[in-house]
Structure formats: structure tokens, C-alpha cells
Chain A
Amino acid sequence: MLTIRFDEPASLNLRLVGGKAQGLASMTQAGMPVSPGFTVSTKAYHQYLDAAGLRDKIAQLLENVDRASIGELSKAEHVIGEWFEAGAFPADVQREVRDSYARLCDEVGVQDLSVAVRSSATAEDAAGASFAGEYDTFVGIVGSSEVERYVRRCWASAFTGRSMAYAWKNGISPIEVEMAVVVQKTVQARAAGVMFTLSPLTGDRSRIVIEAAYGLGLSVVGGEVTPDRYVVAKVGGAILDRVVGEKQVEYLTGAAATPVDEARRRQLCLQDDEIMELARLGKALERKHQRPVDVEFAVDRELPPAKCIVLLQCRPETYWSSRHAARIRPPIEDAAQAVLATVLKKDPP
């Protein structure tokens, strides 16, 4: 249970794998296309902290830190970071991570597969505090010793000044955050974006709205480009709208954005069959969660056309869903009163 593949039952155990990995596992197990990978579990994290004696060291260090001082927090972050950088894996953790990485390379059929190493904390995406973007994600990591190094960096990201401040603010001690790490094939995104299984503008649940741009989804999520916008009708399945966005830049790697040439900007970045497939996946996810969801996705250029869409993340939609639930109307018992209420634009008595 030091590493767990997305398709193993244990991968649904939040305490073991954290929020992000649990989401990916649940999508994988529902037959959804997710970039293949495994999770370095919280158990491995605990073993590491114990073996390296970090738990007490960190606790002591944090006890004397002035939580209000940015300078002191930053110094603590630096010190703890060094400890994680220097402290090697215990033997069994190292063996399991190496084996799992090797198996992933075999599975995809690429030697030294490039992977994304992503933090997956147990507190992440929990109700109340979103922890969105608090912990680190690294893409384009190659080779098993590099994977080990970046797993430790993810662990260390529980102790950045920023994330510690956030945790304390939400009444959580940083040392109590249980940090799992997802290791997943790096998506070679030709295009990527976000899908909502309702209209974010009006809350209409019969619409699926997709926003997408070239390259990794960073540009869309970060609001750096005007993405293409697609609207699909859930009933009947027709694509109702395709609006070309500006898509000025694209992230080919996570590091830097490059400009998109004029001709490509004017083209839609998704094909109709990709839109339809996304919509199908969106409907399935919504059924699974029994409420509207928002989904991050990418179109992988390395994968065959029929399997090129990969889902990166899926979250229940909260804004409109709570409004729909709160809108309680009495049943129509009397037709005349219902007509009156409609004509007068009032709620019936």
C-alpha cells in the first residue's frame, strides 16, 4: 500500500491517496479516460517522515515560528525543503516507487516515460477549504531517480510559507496534512480546457459548455487566453454553438507560453467528434456524481484519435447546484392557480 494504481480498489480510500488521486481513480474505475498512473500513498509519506525523523524536527521548528512573519515562514520553508531534498527514501518506499514507475513505462510502451508528479493531499478539495493550487505539481519529469526527487518536493510543498499559512487559517496544522503524490503520464496536450455540465452563465442543466485552447489547460484555467467556446445540448446531443476564441498563446510545457500564429488562432481547436466525446464523458460523470460537474480535460497528441481525450480532474459544481436545490416550489394542485401564478409572475399561494 505504499504505491497504489488508479485501478486498484484501495485507490478510492481518501486517507490513503488524497483528494486528487481519489478523483482520478474513481474516473479510471468508471471506465473514463484518465492518463495512466499511480499514487504514492500517505502511508509512504508517513514512513518517510518517520524514517527521516522529520515529524519531530518540523514540529519543533514550527513551534518557534512567528506565523505572522512572512520572512520567518519563508525561512522555515527553505529549511524544511532542504531536509526533504537531502533525506532519501526508505528502501521499501524506494523499491515500490521504482517498480511502479517501471511498470507505467512498460504499460505505455515508452522507456523513461515523461510523467507529471502532482500533490494529492487529504485535505484538498474537502468541503469548506478548497486548497486549490496550494500544493505543487511538476510536469515533464523523466527517470526514476527524478521521480523520487519530485515526489519529495511535493511532500515538501505541504510546508511552503503560503500553504502553511493557508492550512493554519483553516485550523489545520501543516504536519497533519497527509500528502499523497500522483505520478501520471505527462499529457502531451494538443488542446485542453474545462467542461461544465451546465451553462455557467444561466445554470441551464440541459447544456454542456466547453472552453478550450491550444496546448496545456493552464492558459484556460489561468484566464490568459479567450478560449474557443462550445455548447452542446444534453437532450438530442446537437452541438449548438462553436465560437472561435482568440487563443493568443499556448503552453507546450508547463514552463512558458508561446504565441499562436494568426491562422491557427482563427481555427477551432476541437473537432466535432472530440466535442461529442467530451459531452458523452461529461454526461457520464454527471450521472456518477448525481449532480452537475466541472471537468478539466486535455486532447493528447501522443494517443490514437479514438482515445485522445484524457480527463485531468472532475469536481462537483456547487454554485448553481445549491441554487437549484434551494428553489423549492409547491406542487401544481390547482390548474387555475398555476395559470394565475404564471400570468402574474408570482409564486402560487
Chain B
Amino acid sequence: MNKPINRFEFFHESKPPKGAEGWERMYPYFLVSQSEGRESEDKKFWFADSMHWSRAVHPFDSIGAEAVYYGVGVNSTRSIALPTSLGLDVRVVNGFVYICPLPVTDPTEIGRRAKLFEERAGHYFKNWGGLYANWKKKMHASLEVMKSLQFNKLEEFEPIEVVTEGKGRSNSWDLVENYHRLVNEFFLVWQYHFEMLGLGYGAYMVFFQLCKECFPEIEDQTIARMVAGIEGIMFRPDEELRRLARLAVETKLGDALCGEGDPQTILARLGQSDAGKSWAADFETTREPWFNYFAEYGFLHDQETWNENLAIPLQGIARYVRRLLAGEQIDRPVTQLRADQDEIASEYRALLNPDEAKRFDEALGLSRAVFPYIEEHNIYVEHWTHSVFWRKVRELSNVLVQAGFFKKSDDLYHLNRFELDQVLFDVIESWAIGVPARGVQHWQIEIEKRRGIMTALRSVSPAPAHGVPPKEVTDPFAVMNYGVTTERVADWLGQAESNGLKFNGIPASPGTVEGPVRVIRHEDELSQLLPGEILVASITAPSWASAFSVVSGVVTDIGGMMSHAAIVCREYGMPAVVSTGFASSRLKTGQRVRIDGRTGTVVVL
């Protein structure tokens, strides 16, 4: 039987892996395909957002899919009024998150939205610097609110103050109220996330299109290089590792750092000397905020920050120490990078006539003005906010374990956020009444079933897309951020049946290299990387930077020109192909491949 090749599987055709039957009940109804909505869903094009959720999503973690696509929608559709696109629709299918761009095609409607956009976007562009400064203030305020939230264990009796101060309000209510406040802040921060992002991409597109018009053959990556930030807080976590490595070498702590042992052993070994103590103190101060840094983007509760797994920054530091001891330079050549960037821009500019050169300057200036936001917002939202968010959820989980409602600390994540709200009320009301909580047994059985479902869902990689692709993918987010272009979609359709010997992706950083594959599914596995290997992953996260000094090339399933892998690889001068759709699920560790970062191809040798 021939598979259809002009479309991907519909949601209802997509079978869950064995053992995952009934997965739908775990998620809020609006995230799951319903039979009455099938007709309209089948007509649309849905692609996997594995950039944010590289693995199947636990029920509680689906809060991220709600928040992200609420934030996108609010800003694109209702606030800034992007003329040609609404928000991104979202579904969870077999535990993976799929999204659907919604273009506006009616010219009258586009015209109406364009008028609104002109005024609203105009305000942002005119006041960009001030609004961005204010944005940072809002983010810090939200972070402070989240940090201040407390989830305390339920004592047998209320503290005396409840009586002496005549409060008349139970401390147990804090559990419900602070949970709501935590969720509120999370949704607020995700609205902030997209407040200026669409505009930032829009401004970048002005420069991008100008370059394409004047230099039809210019590579996307070259355009990006003229704009990309060279300093900024997105480089700080890795900078801090380099700084600590230099300090360690200067104070002769290299051996202590590079030696065997887990983080505790290493830190204890350092504690034996004065130099080591002072280094460890520096390390400790650096942790806040710079090690609040996720391996990926912190959308899943089981992703760790550097602070939660000190082996990650310590291994990174050790890698830099070894390079220093081998006489290598580890500094990012910031001055050189900036000079190169300016030289590239001025050489392209010199090829233009005066009228074009003026526009080039204006568009480049606009892009460079918005770019810090594009590059830095992740640190505030994904890394800093998410690390506090999950820390607070863990505190809440501990309280519920102590209260005897959950058995294990990760039971909580098997409930979605609405179910958890009910559980919290069950817990405090039954506590208040003086009876056991009613849902304990029900949830213990259900959580064990869901545990099995999650294991099954996570045993497979997501299909890259569902439904009927458009003739042309025009949505700017899909193209810029996810690397989902018309060509990629055609490749996915073709490759769905190919023998998997060749993959096409987006050329992200030029150069050709051959080497053995190392498929990395989790940051823990980064230590397995051997020199010369080609890192193959679903996505790469900013915190993988120190590992980039080892590998010879990078291949990812998803990501656009502006994705992290692309930016870092260009800086390291290392070939990269992103948005291959399948590479991490089809390639096996040890296979030899050749990647060409200029044409965007990966060939199995």
C-alpha cells in the first residue's frame, strides 16, 4: 500500500506507541484533538515544536505549551496585530507538542490589521530602548514575586499568630493561593516573552530582505553574521566557565579540577587549600544567577540547570582548563569578532550604489537595535524564570509528598495543572476537616498508569509534522525560529519514505566535515563526546557551548538560521546543518557522515 506523499498523517491516523494508549486523558481537553474538531484540524499543517519540547511532555509540563502559545497569540493576533499572521494553534499528539501557523490571507483584513500594526509597532520601534529597559524591570519584578512564593508543610495546628493577630485566615490557603500566583507569573512572563519578539524578527526581516534583494545569492548565515550580538548576557554563563578555568590555572588548581570524582568530591578536594577555598567561594557566587542555566530550554520538569547538576559546569570548566594547560587560547576573540563583523558589513555595503548603501545602513542599524532583545530574552524567560518556576513546583511537590498525597517527588508531574489545582483543594480541605484526602488512592493508581504511558511515549521520536502542508510556508516564526520552510517540508515528505542515507536541512554554518556521529539526547551525555565527532541532537542548547570545542560539526532536527546551534557554530567556524527533521532519530552513534554546512546536506558514508 502506498502512503500518500502530498500530506502527513492526520492526528487520528497517528497511532500511539504500544503501552501509551489512553494518553489523551492526561492533558487539558483543549490541547488534545477532539473528534468534533477533526475536519478543521485535518486541513491544517502542524509541525512538531521539538525546539521547545524535544521529548514527550508530562501532563503538568504541558503548562508550557499553554503559556507559550497564549503569549504568541496575545501579541501577534490581539496586541501588535501582525498583518499577515495570527497566533500559532497548538495540540499535544502522542505527548509531543505540535503547532500550526495561521496566516491572514484576505486583503481587506490584512489592510485593517496593517493600519493597527503601523501605530502599535511604530510605538515600539520609536521607543525601543526605553521599552526594553522597562521590559527587563518587569522581568526582574516577576522573578522576585516567584522567588518570594512559599509552599509550607501543613502543621497539625495553625500557628498562634493566626489567633493572636485575629487573622482568621488559614495558612493552608497559602498553598492554593501561591500555586495560583506561581501559575499567574508564569503566564505573565510568557506574555512578556513575545511582547517584542515578533517585532524584533520583523525588523530583522527588513535587513534580511534588503540583503536578498541586493545580493540574491547571499547566504542567510552571512546576513545573520552582520547583525548577531558579540557580547551580551547570553554569552555570560560560558564566559564565567572560561573565567573560572583561567582562575584555576593561575592559582594552580588545574589538577584538582580535572581529577576524578563527582562534584562534591571535586569541591571537597579544592577545600583542602586556601587557593582552592577562595576559588570555590568564587564558584559559589557565580552560581547566582549565571548557573540558573538550562541544558535545554527548561520546558520539561526533568531538565536540569547547571545549579542542579554541578557536574555540567565543572566538566565545562575542566575542558577549558585542559585546553589552557595545553597552551591553547580559550578567550572569545571579541575584538576580532567585532572587527570581522564590521568588515563583512562594510565590504557588502561597498558593493552597493549610494542609494542602496543608505538603505543598507538604515536597515542594519534597525536590526542591530532590536537584536539584543532577540538574543537576550531567552536568558530572562527560559533560563531564569523557568529555573525559579520548577524550583517552586518542586517545593510544592515536597509538601504534597510530606502530606502523604504523593509517594514520589515526581508524582506531581503526572497531573496536569487543573488536576493539581483540584488536588490542592482536596489536600487542604481534608486537612481542615480532619479526614484523609479523598483522592490519594485514585491518584496513586492513575499516576502509576500514567508513568507507564510516559515511558511508552518517550520511547519514540515525534513525527515531524501532521496534516496538509501549504504550498508555501510564509509564516515568519515558522521560517525564522523553527527553520520550517517550504523546502524542508518537501524534504520531510520525501524522506518519510527514503532509506535515510541523506538528509537535507538548513545550511547554518559553512564548511564540510566528515566524522563519526554521536547522538546526544540529554545534556548528561555530553561527556561522552570524543574529539572529532559530529554532534547530532534534536536541538542544541546554549549551555552546550563548552562541548562545541570538542566536536567537528553539528546536526540538529529543528532550528532556523537564528537558532542557537547556528549562532554558536558560526562563531566557532564549525559546519552545522539544522532543521533536518529526522537526523537524531535516524542516525546512530558511530555511523560516519559527511556534512556540508553551506548546502545543508548530511550524507551517510
Name A residues whose Cβ lies closer than 8 Å to a Cβ of B.
199, 202-207, 234-236, 238, 240, 324-325, 327-329, 331-332, 334-344
Contact = CB atoms under 8 A, between A and B. Distances in A.
Nearest to A235: B347
B359 interface: yes
A335 B202 CA distance: 9
A204 B218 CA distance: 8
Q: Which of B119, B199, B216 has the most CB of A within 10 A?
A: B216
Given A199-B217, A324-B353, A336 B205 contact: no
A204 B217 contact: yes
Contacts of A328: 355
Contacts of B121: 335-336, 339-340
B507 to A, nearest CB: 12
B173 interface: no
A238 B219 CA distance: 13
Contact of A339 (B202, B217, B344, B510): B202
B356 interface: yes
B404 interface: no
Contacts of B259: none
Given A342-B202, A344-B110, A335 B218 contact: no
B118 interface: yes
Contact of B205 (A207, A235, A343): A343
A342 B209 contact: yes
A238 to B, nearest CB: 8
Given A206-B351, A343-B202, A332 B217 contact: no
The 10 A-B pairs at the shortest CB distance, nearest first, are namely A335-B125, A336-B122, A202-B216, A332-B362, A339-B202, A336-B121, A204-B217, A235-B347, A205-B351, A206-B215
B465 interface: no
A234 B199 CA distance: 32
B358 interface: yes
Contact of B114 (A236, A331, A338, A340): A340
A204 B215 contact: yes
Nearest to B598: A240
Contact of A205 (B215, B222, B598): B215
B348 interface: yes
Contacts of A344: 83-84, 110, 114
B360 to A, nearest CB: 10
Nearest to B355: A328
B474 to A, nearest CB: 9
B117 A340 contact: yes
B5 interface: no
Contacts of B351: 205-206, 234-235
B359 A332 contact: yes
Given A329-B359, A335-B366, A206 B217 contact: yes
Interface of B: 82-84, 110, 114, 117-119, 121-122, 125-126, 199, 202-203, 205-206, 209, 214-218, 222, 344, 347-348, 351-353, 355-356, 358-359, 362-363, 366, 476, 510, 598
Contacts, number: 95
A199 B84 CA distance: 33
Nearest to B202: A339
Given A203-B216, A206-B217, A342 B205 contact: yes
A202 B355 contact: no
Contacts of A203: 216
A334 B206 CA distance: 12
A236 B221 CA distance: 13
A235 B344 contact: yes
A205 B125 contact: no
A207 B217 CA distance: 8
Given A235-B347, A235-B351, 7 more contacts: A240-B598, A327-B356, A328-B355, A336-B122, A339-B206, A340-B83, A342-B205
A339 B217 CA distance: 22
Given A202-B217, A336-B118, A338-B206, A331 B598 contact: no
B122 to A, nearest CB: 4
A307 B277 CA distance: 65
Nearest to A338: B206
A331 to B, nearest CB: 6
A143 to B, nearest CB: 48
A238 B573 CA distance: 14
B344 A236 contact: yes
A335 B82 CA distance: 14
8 contacts: A205-B214, A238-B510, A332-B362, A335-B203, A336-B117, A336-B125, A338-B206, A344-B114
B122 A343 contact: no
B118 A332 contact: no
A325 to B, nearest CB: 6
Contacts of A343: 82-84, 202, 205, 476
B199 A339 contact: yes
A339 B205 contact: yes
Contacts of A327: 356
Contacts of B217: 199, 202, 204, 206-207
Nearest to B351: A205
